[in-house]
Amino acid sequence: MPPAWSAVGVPCRLVTDQVNARVVLATAAATGCDLPVDIAAMRDEHDGEGARLADIERAWRVGAAPISHVIAIERCGPSRDGRPRNADGADITAVNAPLDRLFTAGPWATIGIGDLGNELGMGSLPYELVAASVAHGGELWCRVTCDHPIVAGVSNLAAAALLGALALQRPGWSAALLDWLTPDCAGRLLAAAVRDGGAVASQRGRRAASAIGRGRIALGCARDRVRRDRAGLPARPRARLRRVGARVEDDHVAGR
């Protein structure tokens, strides 16, 4: 998302913590854009290359381009007992800096994107809904709210949908935004995250691979849908997926 916005003249920056810094830096470099990255310390104090959250907040407020919107994508936040929890309900405090304090600290508008309920912003969803709908939902539900929650089956695809919506709302931005909404672009950034950033799949390796495959297909479909809407053409029928060997192909993306 940040490189797409940078392409239309909207200054952006990324923030992550020390645990995830290598992956984020590698992915940011692969975009070919000059994207500033704030790396937060795992705790309140300055720690090596990690900055204090208060220092990052101060920079966001008084910088040459003060922050107007903060978007959290799949960022785990504190549950009801204050501890961030993963999909299994396990406490991951040791590897998850409290970026929720930065998310909620300023006058900026907040957008929270999630797919499970343990992400920043998902506190805008009723606790009872998450507890009843998601395994371990009562344990992992994030209590942090946001101004605009976006929920999807896969968080990355919700972020892509936001780009697609902007492409429709701002016709002058459409071409530049859609250049980043492609399966090839997603694959290039994913490759950089793994090759240069050392990213690994979770213990749900099969589920992660499936989500990545569906994501590449969905990006192509979303791009096609935006273009057809702009041209006043009806939407295509829902994509037909078919398995070819170890791959999953989509007739629309392949152009057939």
Identify the three-state secondary structure at position 244.
strand
Contact 42/17 with Cβ under 8 angstroms? yes
Q: Is 254's pLDDT higher than 70?
A: no
Percent of the chain with pLDDT over 70: 84
Whether 132 has a pLDDT exceeding 60, the answer reads yes
Place of tokens 């479909």: 221
Q: Compute how many other C-beta atoms are within 10 angstroms of the C-beta atom of residue 45.
A: 8
DSSP 20: T
Q: What is the pTM of this model?
A: 0.85
High-pLDDT (> 90) share of the chain, %: 60
Neighbours of 93 (CB within 10 A): 15
CB contact at 8 A, 241 and 249: yes
Of the pLDDT bands very low, low, confident and very high (cuts 50, 70, 90), residue 156 is confident
Structure tokens at 45: 């104090």
pLDDT-derived band at 236, boundaries 50, 70, 90? confident
Q: Which CATH architecture has domain 2-254?
A: Alpha-Beta Complex (3.90)
Q: Are the C-beta atoms of 219 and 186 separated by less than 8 Å?
A: yes
Q: Which of 136-150, 156-170, 208-222 is predicted most confidently?
A: 136-150
pLDDT band at 145 (very low <50, low <70, confident <90, very high): very high
Distance from C-alpha of 68 to C-alpha of 29, rounded to nearest angstrom: 24
What is the residue type of 203?
Q
